[in-house]
Chain A
Amino acid sequence: MAKRGAPPEINASSMADIAFLLLVFFLVTTTMDTDFGLARRLPPPLDLDQPEPPPIKERNVFVVLVNANDQLLVEGELLDISELKEKAKEFIANPYDDENLPEKKMTEVQFFGQYPVSKQVISLQNDNGTSYDMYIQVQNSLAQAYNELREEITMSKFSVNYADLVEKAKDDEMANKRYKAVKKIYPQRISEAEPKDVGKQ
């Protein structure tokens, strides 16, 4: 019978090398990017049996047109993209109850009681030749207008940031109710018309 000594130790010095190899592989394949984007909802497909929607008064509609040269026509006025946000904000809120800006309807909103909610609708129409970049900038400016108005009202009513409120609304009942109330006061109504095809020759 062979005499047994202590079992030989396994050399583990290459363990680090193997681990490094795997590490490098995962380092290379990993993509840390998180996706960001503008969330929108498309209108449901057209239903032919649907009754015609009631006509909307002209003063309640904010018409934004974008042509194939990426120029903006807002309410019949040539505008730069940087001015769109302010113009939209003025339209949505109608702070001085201007007769050419949207009507308001007293609505019961939680936390706010009877609140004059404007009947605003933003109508956006682009050309088939409009660049995607311009389209996103317009969408972004309009969203920004809504968000800033919501920010103002949440700040004055609840003394919290709107962004924080949205974040909390996911798992906090109270925050969710507040978020819904704010959304009821400034509902984001962006309607997109079928694009024109003027730009193509």
Chain B
Amino acid sequence: MSKFKSKKEKDTPAISTASLPDIVFMLLFFFMVTTVMREVDLKVKLSSPEASEVKKLENKSLVSYVYIGAPLDEKKFGTTPRIQLNDAFASVEDIRPYIETKRSEVDEQLIPKLTTSLKVDVETEMGIVTDVKQELRKVNALKLNYSTRERLR
């Protein structure tokens, strides 16, 4: 009996925190490696539709994004859906130089693999989307991806 008692009375040793920086560094490196900086500041309202037959968008360096939706700042820009390329509002004509810039950035043999991802708000009407698609056809950027959220069947 007394044996146990004497043990209990001893001070509990302090937990060594010497390995704490190591653990934190490990986490840090994990996040540093996996992190992808947000590409753009969204200026349009964007809630993606849901679809079940989706494919994962691979090779993000080969993807150019086109955002379409109603402007977030309604007072300044109204409520008609607008196109956003990079960080600014754009018109349909700006798509050609946008795609051409993207093409000049990548290797020549990778050009056919370039994909355009359309990120369109659910409430947008098809008119503006069709205009963008026609323009993409004209510049021969034929690989398209309608960005959606994943839904189970």
Instruction: Please indicate whether A and B come from the same complex rather than being unrelated chains.
Output: yes
Distance between A167 CB and nearest chain B CB, rounded to angstroms: 10
Q: For the complex, is B86 an interface residue (Cβ under 8 Å from A)?
A: no
Q: For the complex, is A51 an interface residue (Cβ under 8 Å from B)?
A: no
Enumerate the 4 nearest inter-chain pairs by beta-carbon distance, A residue then B residue, closest first: A128-B127, A26-B31, A35-B57, A143-B53
Q: For the complex, is B2 an interface residue (Cβ under 8 Å from A)?
A: no
A66 nearest CB neighbor, chain B only: B126
8 Å CB contacts to A: which residues of B119-139?
120-127, 129-130, 133, 136-138
Q: For the complex, is A78 an interface residue (Cβ under 8 Å from B)?
A: no
Chain B contact residue count (CB 8 A cutoff): 53
Report A's interface with B, CB cutoff 8 A. Answer: 12, 15-16, 19-20, 22-23, 26-27, 29-32, 34-45, 68, 126-133, 135-137, 139-140, 143-144, 147, 194-195, 197, 200
By a CB distance below 8 angstroms, the chain A residues around B51 are 37-38, 136-137, 139-140
B interface, over-half SS: mixed
Whole-angstrom CA separation of A35 from B57 in the bound complex: 5
Distance between B129 CB and nearest chain A CB, rounded to angstroms: 6
Whole-angstrom CA separation of A9 from B122 in the bound complex: 61
Distance between A199 CB and nearest chain B CB, rounded to angstroms: 8
8 Å CB contacts to A: which residues of B133-153?
133, 136-138, 140-150, 153
Whole-angstrom CA separation of A45 from B139 in the bound complex: 8
Do A129 and B127 touch (CB < 8 A)? yes
Do A15 and B21 touch (CB < 8 A)? yes
Report B's interface with A, CB cutoff 8 A. Answer: 17, 20-21, 24-25, 27-28, 31-32, 34-38, 49, 51-57, 60, 63, 115, 117-118, 120-127, 129-130, 133, 136-138, 140-150, 153
Do B56 and A42 touch (CB < 8 A)? no
Do A44 and B140 touch (CB < 8 A)? yes
By a CB distance below 8 angstroms, the chain B residues around A30 are 31, 34-36
A interface, over-half SS: mixed
Known: A29-B37, A30-B31, A31-B38. Contact between A40 and B121, CB under 8 A?
Answer: no
By a CB distance below 8 angstroms, the chain A residues around B53 are 38, 140, 143-144, 147
Find B124's partner among A37, A40, A131, A140 (CB 8 Å cutoff).
Answer: A131
Do B137 and A43 touch (CB < 8 A)? yes
Whole-angstrom CA separation of A129 from B128 in the bound complex: 9
Distance between A96 CB and nearest chain B CB, rounded to angstroms: 26
Do B54 and A36 touch (CB < 8 A)? yes
Distance between A187 CB and nearest chain B CB, rounded to angstroms: 16
Do A135 and B147 touch (CB < 8 A)? no
Find A132's partner among B21, B28, B55, B126 (CB 8 Å cutoff).
Answer: B126
Max count, chain A CB within 10 A of own CB: residue among B118, B127, B142: B127
